[in-house]
Structure 1
Amino acid sequence: MMACPFLTDPIDIGAQIVRKTIRSKRLFKDRQNPLSFSEEYIHERYHFSSHTIVYLADLLTPTLSNDTLRSCALTVMQTLCIGLHFFACGEFIHTVGDAENLSKSTVCRAIRRVYVALAKILASFVKFPGHSSLQEIKDRFYRIAGLPNVIGALDCTHIPIKAPSGPEAPAYTNQRSFHSINVQMVCDSQCLITNIDAKWPGSVNDFHILRESPLYRQFQQGRFNGCLVADNEYPCLPFMMTPYLNPKPGAESCFNEALYETRACIKTTFTMLRARFGCLKGLRVSPDRACDIIVACAVLHNIAMIRKEAPPCINWMPSNKPEPLHCDHQKGTALRDVIAAQLFASSMSCSQVL
């Protein structure tokens, strides 16, 4: 220390000199290209691979592109990734803005542009009874548990939202005492969404949503040669099979078990949606915007399934449904009895062979 009277700590000074000589050059990522990171980072942030994000950017360029680059306008890729980040994480808008180094107002506009653009291509990716032929859809459902003539699995799920203001707020309080949008969906055996109705408050009954939907009218008009499978929230109809309430041993129990296995795909679809899109665990937006975001997530889900994206981690949560309040249709119960008898006979013949 006496040899270096002007240095407070010569060992520290020496270490700093060494660090400066061996320190590697800093690499700055291009903020205009959100895909300049590793594939693991991209999937963790957006829940999609870089290849699918590029596909989405090409698909949505006509809607997301700006007419001018004035005021440092966001690129299509930046706008899309801001929306995907919000859908995947469900964070507050200012949190997404901090992560993307953008203002809250810019992030809000970008998210809105993305879900509006996705809603415009809904008909291209969500179509009933599906993208395959009708017979192929029936064959895939039949291979699950032997139920014939099935072309879709139907159910409703509640997407939580923040308490809306105004006189309509009580209508959004569901039976579990939280505010929600009651969303009706139909899926095929591969968990592709084939029909969605996302506009009803949480207090609206499941069957009321179906009865007011275009899908119900189309089935009544005989537009589709097939039937849906559903739970006891719905009545048994000529075009919709539901379980027996108090099944007897034999044909009725066999039918209920087959129906449960066949309609498990709709529960899997709901679980995958919530796992891939964290925003659906609780939307802090107005009901109108919440409905648009739900539809956008349905489109993204189908794109992910079609492009075989890595499935999200699923945590199964059993749901307890209330007792049904609807009377079964006579023609529906007669058809169900015929199917149950055929199913039980086929299961008995198989057991005898074994």
Structure 2
Amino acid sequence: LLLPYLRNKGRSERVFKDRSNPLEVLSEKELLEKFRFPRHAIQQLAFDLEEKLRPETSRNCSIPSLLQICVVKMDFFNISGFPNVIGAIDGTHIRIKAPSTHEPLFVNRKGYHSINVQAICDAKLRVLNCVARWPGSTHDSRNLVNSQIHDAFERGELQGVLLGDSGYPLKPWLLTPFLNPETAAQTLYNTAHAKTRNVIERCFGVLKRRFHCLHGELRMKPERVCNIICACVVLHNLEDQMLEEPALEITEAGDEDGSGHYIRQMIVENIFSA
């Protein structure tokens, strides 16, 4: 007699999610209580996020203007005298719960599941480019090689250099530090490189402080986590744009190059030699 009752008790109740648009059904007071933003602010944010998160193609992406590039280069030069820099690049890991498919691919070298996020920022900590789609086991250099920003530099569409750590390959447009500096000039180069490139570390710190969800474990599917990361980056930039004009935006989404060695050495000889 109790069997049907016990079966029903063990069955979880189906929950039907409300698919209605809160902007259409909630009052101004309810919107403020639920989302902490008035209706017009939510509408503006939704519009801005839609524009920023739309996948970029060769038809809707634009090359930065010469003036924008010059401003970014000057901001970087003012840090430690490093010339021709248009961005600092690095990766950071956002922790996620173990996914149900391809789980081993998401385990990073520190042993936890994550999304490996590649970002490029300017001297004012604004994100110029973000790639959030690779599992935690992906190496930073592979992340770069498979990004649109890599192809844009290889085609010569962007005039300037990125600064990256020794985990990246040395290229004409991607300068890395000397692993074992042999001269005083190379040591000065490494010092200026480290001080200038440090902005990307600070950028990640500011981003994660603003959006605490990026500090903990995001317990959603990897695809949704990637969208959340990109949305946080867009909101990070929008907050800065309330105070300043928009920064240079670089369009997104190995082996060392001999000419990269030449360019790095020319900078050492012309800028950092006594």
TM-score bucket of the superposed structures, by smaller chain:
0.7 to 0.9
| Aligned equivalent of 1:222, options 156, 161, 166 | 156
Work out whether residues 129 and 151 of structure 1, in 8 Å CA contact, stay in contact via their aligned partners in 2. no
| Aligned equivalent of 1:144, options 62, 71, 79 | 79
Match of 2:32 in 1: 34
Work out whether residues 63 and 157 of structure 2, in 8 Å CA contact, stay in contact via their aligned partners in 1. no
Work out whether residues 185 and 272 of structure 2, in 8 Å CA contact, stay in contact via their aligned partners in 1. yes
Match of 2:49 in 1: 118
Question: Equivalences for 1:317-328 in 2 at 5 Å?
Answer: 327-328=255-256
Is 2:271 the partner of 1:340? Answer: no
Work out whether residues 184 and 198 of structure 1, in 8 Å CA contact, stay in contact via their aligned partners in 2. yes
Aligned Cα RMSD in Å? 2.7
Offset from partner CA, 1:140-183 (integer Å, 9 cap, x none) = 111111111110111111000001012x1100000000000000
Work out whether residues 128 and 194 of structure 1, in 8 Å CA contact, stay in contact via their aligned partners in 2. no
| Aligned equivalent of 1:187, options 121, 126, 145 | 121
Structure of greater relative contact order (alpha carbons < 8 Å, 6+ residues apart):
2
Match of 2:221 in 1: 286
AA of the residue aligned to 2:127: I
Match of 1:265 in 2: 199
Question: Equivalences for 1:38-53 in 2 at 5 Å?
Answer: none
SS at match of 2:30: coil
Alignment CA distance shift 1:129-1:185 (3 Å): farther
Offset from partner CA, 1:12-51 (integer Å, 9 cap, x none) = xxxxxxxxxxxxxxxxxx8515279xxxxxxxx97xxx7x
Equivalent-residue separation in structure 1 for 2:213 and 2:121 (angstroms): 21
How far apart are 1:342 and its partner, in Å? Answer: 1.7
Work out whether residues 31 and 39 of structure 2, in 8 Å CA contact, stay in contact via their aligned partners in 1. no
SS at match of 1:341: helix
How far apart are 1:131 and its partner, in Å? Answer: 11
AA of the residue aligned to 1:34: L
Match of 1:210 in 2: 144
Equivalent-residue separation in structure 2 for 1:198 and 1:275 (angstroms): 18
| Aligned equivalent of 2:42, options 57, 70, 81 | 57
Match of 1:275 in 2: 209
Percent identity of paired positions between Structure 1 and Structure 2: 37
How far apart are 1:54 and its partner, in Å? Answer: 7.0
SS at match of 2:218: coil
AA of the residue aligned to 1:284: R
Is 2:94 the partner of 1:159? Answer: yes
Alignment CA distance shift 1:330-1:131 (3 Å): closer
Equivalent-residue separation in structure 1 for 2:232 and 2:77 (angstroms): 28
AA of the residue aligned to 1:256: N
SS at match of 1:178: coil
Alignment CA distance shift 1:132-1:193 (3 Å): farther
AA of the residue aligned to 2:162: L
Offset from partner CA, 1:268-319 (integer Å, 9 cap, x none) = 110011111011122111100000000000000001112249xxxxxxxxxx
Equivalent-residue separation in structure 2 for 1:128 and 1:158 (angstroms): 29
Work out whether residues 130 and 188 of structure 1, in 8 Å CA contact, stay in contact via their aligned partners in 2. no
Alignment CA distance shift 1:34-1:172 (3 Å): same
Equivalent-residue separation in structure 2 for 1:132 and 1:279 (angstroms): 36
Is 2:178 the partner of 1:250? Answer: no
Alignment CA distance shift 1:248-1:159 (3 Å): same
Equivalent-residue separation in structure 2 for 1:255 and 1:119 (angstroms): 41
Equivalent-residue separation in structure 2 for 1:248 and 1:35 (angstroms): 62
Match of 1:201 in 2: 135
Work out whether residues 129 and 152 of structure 1, in 8 Å CA contact, stay in contact via their aligned partners in 2. no
Offset from partner CA, 1:199-225 (integer Å, 9 cap, x none) = 000001100011011111110100011
AA of the residue aligned to 2:95: P
Please list every run of 5 or more consecutive structure 2 residues that lacks an aligned counterpart in the other structure.
1-27, 245-253
Equivalent-residue separation in structure 2 for 1:273 and 1:131 (angstroms): 28
Aligned residue pairs total 232
Equivalent-residue separation in structure 1 for 2:80 and 2:130 (angstroms): 25
Equivalent-residue separation in structure 1 for 2:110 and 2:239 (angstroms): 31
AA of the residue aligned to 1:59: Q
How far apart are 1:119 and its partner, in Å? Answer: 4.9
Equivalent-residue separation in structure 2 for 1:216 and 1:285 (angstroms): 29
AA of the residue aligned to 1:178: Y
SS at match of 1:32: helix
